[in-house]
C-alpha cells in the first residue's frame, strides 16, 4: 500500500531524514520505534504532504504521491492523527468530526458519524460540547474519530498514547486493534514501544533519520538492542 524509498527531508539546512526506505502492506499494523528527535513525526508529516521531501519517493497504491497536496492525499485515503491530538478546541465534538470528512463527496457522512459515536460513546455524550473541554483521552478519541471520518485506507497515528493514564492507554491500543479488524492499515509511531510492537505485524527502528533495524513485532520485541534501547529491559 505504501512504499517509501530513500526519502530525505530537511528543516532549512538541517537534514533530519537520511534515505528512509520502508513499506506498509495492506492490512498491516506497522510500528515505528525511535528516540526523541529521531525523525518519526517528520516521516509521518512527509507521508501526509505537510513536510517537504528533499529526495526519494513515496508511493501509495502504486502511484507516486510526492507532489500531491495534503488534501488530495486525504481524499485518496491517507489520514493522520497528529501528535498532541490538535483538535479544534472552540468547535464542538461533532464539528471536529465533520471537518474530518470535509474532502468527501459521498452521502454516507451521517452514517459514518453514527459509527464513530458507536465506537466512542463518550463522544456522543459530549457531542455538543467544545472539544477543548474534553479530557486528554477523550480528545485522543476525537482525533482518531476525526481521521476516520475521512474513510482512510491508511491511518498514520503519531504517539496516540502520549500523556494518557494506563487504563486509557490500554483502551487506545484496543482501538488500534479494532481498526485493523475493520480493514484499516496502520502506521503507528509510539514511545510506548512495548505495547506498540506487541500489536504490530512489523516494525522499523529509526535512529537519527535512518532505519537501523526492521522485523516482525515479535522479532523486535526479542532483539537485544531494541530491548535495551527502547524497552528498558
Interface contacts to ligand ATP, rule CB under 6 A? 11, 16, 34, 36-42, 83
- What distances in angstroms separate CA 148 from CA 33, 97, 99, 225, one per listed residue? 23, 9, 11, 35
Residue 1 CB, shortest distance to ligand ATP, in Å, is: 22
CB of 48 to ligand ATP, least distance (A): 13
CB 40 to ligand ATP: min, Å: 4
Q: Given strand 14-24, what is the order of strands in its sheet?
A: 14-24, 2-11, 55-60, 63-64
Of residues 138 and 192, the one with the C-beta less far from ligand ATP: 192
Q: How far is the CB of 17 from ligand ATP (least distance, A)?
A: 8
Residue 45: CB minimum distance to ligand ATP, A: 7
Helix (H) and strand (E) counts in the chain = 10, 10
Helix segments in 49-134, DSSP class H: 70-76, 93-100, 109-119, 121-125
Q: Kindly tell me which of 16 and 79 has the beta carbon lying closer to ligand ATP.
A: 16
CB of 36 to ligand ATP, least distance (A): 3
Q: Which is nearer to ligand ATP, 51 or 96 (CB)?
A: 51
Give the residue among 194, 203, 157 at the shortest CA–CA distance from 32: 203
Whichever of 97 and 211 has its CB closer to ligand ATP, that residue is 211
Judged by beta carbon, residue 10 or residue 127, the one nearer ligand ATP is 10
CB of 146 within 8 A of CB of 99?
Answer: yes
Q: Closer CB to ligand ATP, residue 149 or residue 189?
A: 189
- Whether the CA torsion 164, 80, 43, 233 is positive or negative: it is positive
The residue assigned the cell 480528545 is 139
User: Cα(89)–Cα(134) distance, rounded to whole angstroms?
Assistant: 9
Amino acid at each position: 500500500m505504501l512504499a517509501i524509498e530513500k526519502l530525505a527531508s530537511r528543516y532549512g539546512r538541517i537534514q533530519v531524514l537520511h534515505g528512509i526506505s520502508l513499506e506498509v502492506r495492506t492490512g498491516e499494523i506497522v510500528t515505528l520505534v525511535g528516540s526523541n528527535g529521531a525523525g518519526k513525526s517528520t516521516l509521518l508529516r512527509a507521508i501526509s504532504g505537510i513536510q517537504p521531501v528533499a529526495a526519494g519517493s513515496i508511493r501509495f497504491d502504486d502511484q507516486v504521491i510526492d507532489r500531491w497536496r495534503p488534501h488530495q492525499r486525504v481524499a485518496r485515503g491517507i489520514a493522520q492523527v497528529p501528535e498532541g491530538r490538535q483538535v479544534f478546541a472552540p468547535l464542538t465534538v461533532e464539528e471536529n468530526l465533520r471537518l474530518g470528512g470535509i474532502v468527501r463527496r459521498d452521502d454516507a457522512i451521517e452514517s459514518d458519524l453514527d459509527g464513530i459515536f458507536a465506537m466512542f460513546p463518550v463522544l456522543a455524550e459530549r457531542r455538543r460540547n467544545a472539544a477543548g473541554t474534553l479530557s486528554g483521552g477523550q480528545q485522543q478519541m476525537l482525533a482518531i474519530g476525526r481521521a476516520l471520518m475521512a474513510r482512510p485506507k491508511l491511518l498514520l497515528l503519531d504517539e496516540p498514547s502520549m500523556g494518557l493514564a494506563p487504563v486509557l492507554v490500554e483502551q487506545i491500543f484496543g482501538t488500534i486493534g479494532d481498526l485493523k479488524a475493520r480493514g484499516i492499515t496502520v502506521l503507528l509511531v509510539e514511545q510506548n514501544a512495548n505495547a506498540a510492537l506487541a500489536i504490530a505485524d512489523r516494525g522499523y527502528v529509526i535512529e537519527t533519520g535512518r532505519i537501523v533495524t526492521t522485523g516482525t513485532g515479535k522479532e523486535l520485541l526479542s532483539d537485544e538492542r531494541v530491548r535495551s534501547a527502547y524497552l528498558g529491559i
